[in-house]
Amino acid sequence: MHSNLPLKHLFDLPEGVIYLDGNSLGPLPRAVPDRLNQMVRDEWAGKLIRGWNDAGWMEQPRRVGDMVGALIGAAKGSVMMGDTLSIKVYQGLAAGLAMRPDRRVILSDNGNFPTDLYMAKGLIELLDRGYELRLVDPADIKGAINEDVAVVMLTQVGYGTGRTHEMASITKAAHRAGAVMLWDLAHSAGALPVDIAGSNAEIAVGCTYKYLNGGPGAPAFIYVRPDLIETIQPALSGWLGHDAPFAFDLDYRPAHSIDRMRVGTPPVLQLTALETALEVWSGLDMKEVRARSIQLSELFIEEVETRCPTLKLNSPRDPENRGSQVSFAFPHGYAAMRALIDRGVIGDFRAPDVMRFGITPLYLDEDDIIRAAEILEKIIREDLWQEPKYQIRSAVT
């Protein structure tokens, strides 16, 4: 297979760093600083308030939404950018519950990212109508879908283990039971091919600072199935989701398009960084990205298992059941990750004992993978993680 990958020259990575954490925060695409600088000077400084009309700021959340949509199999006009993913989970879940007013169960799994579950619990408490958040093991989801379930809320790729849920068949099972399907694509967008329209799911959400390299704090996205856009309850009824925001009506009337999922003023600087970052994907085939991700992940697992037998694979062994990350359990995982980062190999740590490595073929190749495994081997073999300075926990792991 002819490959365009990797595209290292499109990224600004520090000299000597092997970056295995693009699943948490993607690196800086080289085109971003100049574009941001130009935007700030020409548009913010130069156009001032006129930028909303003259520089395309007002349409930007939708324009960028279409770019993200192209990467997740969504039709134009069905994806809106804004807010953070936690907020989009809340909005999507509230909208989904409103579609099934006579049901009281939200079904999710115990491998989901906690903020999704916290947001669900907060919403349940606020609504105070007897809703229940039912959590089962990821493998037991299909069996737990029944006619009590209002919304099945799942993250397709688990943040800890990287295991994937089968999107099409779970969505079908949810629909057979009359439930609404809400997918969180945080670790899917830019990591593997997603066919959200083909899945027929009602709602999807995700973030853009992970595999989409939008930068720290980049806005989230929300997808609504096109046939529902006219009727879905926006739940967060902010003025920019209004049908005519500048009429300043005292009554809220949602827009007749995906614009109704907007809330307030969009983060224009962040959207500009993201819009530029997304240009990296033009001409890339997500199937090729996925194939390379699997090749590199398989190589990493093989190298680490050979060199560091005390590390236990904490991800599904079958690459078809795994996203674009690999994790290993090691009792001293935190200290070992600190030692690794100190030597230029950046991954991350998730409690209680998981060393997590994002495998992003946009800027990684076989040499990086083997070098990372060699450095990890040295740390484990020589117990280099035992140094006292590696034992102190930082706020962000």
Footprint of ligand PLP (CB under 6 A): 84-86, 113, 115-116, 155, 159, 184, 186-187, 207, 220
Instruction: Give catalytic status of residue 210 as yes or no.
Output: yes
In angstroms, rounded to a whole number, what is the distance separating the alpha carbons of residues 241 and 288? 37
Q: CB of residue 383 vs ligand PLP: minimum separation in angstroms?
A: 32
Q: For strand 18-19 and strand 345-346, is the pairing parallel, antiparallel, or unpaired?
A: parallel
Q: CB of residue 192 vs ligand PLP: minimum separation in angstroms?
A: 14
Annotated catalytic residue, options 62, 225, 350, 356: 356
In angstroms, rounded to a whole number, what is the distance separating the alpha carbons of residues 160 and 157? 9
Q: For strand 180-184 and strand 325-329, is the pairing parallel, antiparallel, or unpaired?
A: unpaired
Per-residue burial over 313-322, b = 16 or more CB atoms within 10 Å of its CB, e = otherwise: ebbbeebeeb
Q: CB of residue 160 vs ligand PLP: minimum separation in angstroms?
A: 10
Instruction: Give catalytic status of residue 88 as yes or no.
Output: no
Cβ count near 91 (within 10 Å): 27
Per-residue burial over 268-304, b = 16 or more CB atoms within 10 Å of its CB, e = otherwise: bebbbbbbbbbebbeebebebbbbbbbbbbbebbebb
Instruction: Give catalytic status of residue 76 as yes or no.
Output: no
What is the residue-wise DSSP string for 285-302? -HHHHHHHHHHHHHHHHH
Annotated catalytic residue, options 21, 83, 116, 184: 184
Name every residue whose Cβ is closer than 8 Å to that of residue 308 and which is 6 or more positions away in sequence. 328, 373, 376, 377, 380, 381
Q: Cβ closer to ligand PLP: 349 or 385?
A: 349
Q: Cβ closer to ligand PLP: 44 or 113?
A: 113
Annotated catalytic residue, options 47, 113, 290, 353: 113
Residues marked as catalytic? 113, 184, 209-210, 356
